Amino acid sequence: MSDHEQEHERQRTELLGTEMREATLPDGTRAVIVVKAGTPQAEVDEQASRMRRSTPEAK
């Protein structure tokens, strides 16, 4: 298996057990993020808020 194929397989494996979820940020902006499958919506919203706060544009 080539290095490229190994990297692709690793990435694919990392995504198992995840799902794309819509989140609402405190300012009402909506976002889609990847989270562990079954994550409660309140936690999805909080994770999105933390990611937004850590972006350079948000500072």
Element (H, E) at 39: none
Q: What is the pLDDT of residue 7?
A: 78
pLDDT digits (tens, 9 = 90+) for 12-42: 767 788 999 999 999 999 999 999 999 999 9
Q: What is the pLDDT of residue 10?
A: 72
d(CA 39, CA 42): 8
d(CA 56, CA 32): 19
Structure token pair of residue 52: 């937004």
- 46/16: higher pLDDT: 46
